[in-house]
């Protein structure tokens, strides 16, 4: 899966790069070393759930842009990228299911990470936006000229119903995985609190007398 995922993500980058070449707008790749950074390690459970939500969100963004792109080649490019992102999300969901079968306690970090991804959807949700742990106190995106403007344009291009569809999809899946009906973010918060309480509760003492 990692090999296929990496290939397809690089394909997204390369085709968009070729498209920019057509308009003499290819980025200056001699400056890429300026953006190298060591990202802080994170628990695999939270990382998995974060990427699951992220791929679902990106798929919806690209699908929306494919509907609105005025140029036919770019319209098709966005559509194909969206299909890749949705397929990646499906794979992550299957990994989450396997993890829960082995250890049901991972539902807590899955729920917490998902809650964070759904709250404040206007904010950027990617490790490259985190300044914590960097030597100069800046995130990767802090070093990209015009990034804030690009982020604002992205948010303006994504209607509210697109984000709403993401929340509906995520809550429906978490309902199935957790065995709890989740219809709102408040329901998700209550689930995380319940899981935290259960995780903190002391293990029951066996009443079986020792021999």
What percent of the chain lies above the pLDDT cut of 90? Answer: 68
Burial tier of 167 (Cβ tally within 10 Å: 0-12, 13-18, 19+): buried
Q: Could you tell me which residue, 129 or 110, shows the higher pLDDT? A: 110
Vertex 185: Cα angle to 40 and 187 (nearest 5): 115
Alpha-carbon torsion 193, 194, 196, 200, what sign?
positive
Vertex 107: Cα angle to 104 and 112 (nearest 5): 160
What is the model's pLDDT at position 35? Answer: 76
Is residue 182 within 8 A of residue 171, CB to CB? The reply is: yes
Per the confidence metrics, is the pTM higher than 0.85?
yes
User: Which range is least confidently modeled, 29-43, 100-114, 137-151, 161-175?
Assistant: 29-43
Q: What does the alpha-carbon distance between residue 157 and residue 163 come to, in Å, rounded to a whole number? A: 12
User: Which range is least confidently modeled, 35-39, 91-95, 184-188, 197-201?
Assistant: 35-39
- DSSP 8-state code for residue 201: S
What is the model's pLDDT at position 211? Answer: 44
CB atoms within 10 A of CB 45: 19
Q: What tokens does 89 get?
A: 């999300």
CB atoms within 10 A of CB 84: 20
Supply the mean pLDDT for the chain.
Answer: 88
Q: What is the mean pLDDT of residues 23-32?
A: 84
pLDDT digits (tens, 9 = 90+) for 71-86: 999 999 999 999 999 9
């Amino acid at each position: 899966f990692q090999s296929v995922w990496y290939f397809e993500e690089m394909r997204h980058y390369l085709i968009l790069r070729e498209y920019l070449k057509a308009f003499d707008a290819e980025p200056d790749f001699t400056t890429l070393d300026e953006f190298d950074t060591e990202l802080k390690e994170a628990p695999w459970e939270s990382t998995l759930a974060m990427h699951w939500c992220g791929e679902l969100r990106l798929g919806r963004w690209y699908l929306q842009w494919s509907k609105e792109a005025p140029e036919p080649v770019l319209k098709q490019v966005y559509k194909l990228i969206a299909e890749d992102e949705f397929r990646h999300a499906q794979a992550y969901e299957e990994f989450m299911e396997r993890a829960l079968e082995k250890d049901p306690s991972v539902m807590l970090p899955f729920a917490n990470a998902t809650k964070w991804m759904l709250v404040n959807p206007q904010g950027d949700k990617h490790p490259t936006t985190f300044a914590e742990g960097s030597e100069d106190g800046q995130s990767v995106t802090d070093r990209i000229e015009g990034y804030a403007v690009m982020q604002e344009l992205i948010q303006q291009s994504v209607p509210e119903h697109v984000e709403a569809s993401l929340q509906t999809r995520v809550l429906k899946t978490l309902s199935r995985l957790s065995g709890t009906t989740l219809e709102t973010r408040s329901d998700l918060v209550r689930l995380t609190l319940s899981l935290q309480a259960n995780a903190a509760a002391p293990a029951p003492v066996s009443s079986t007398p020792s021999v």
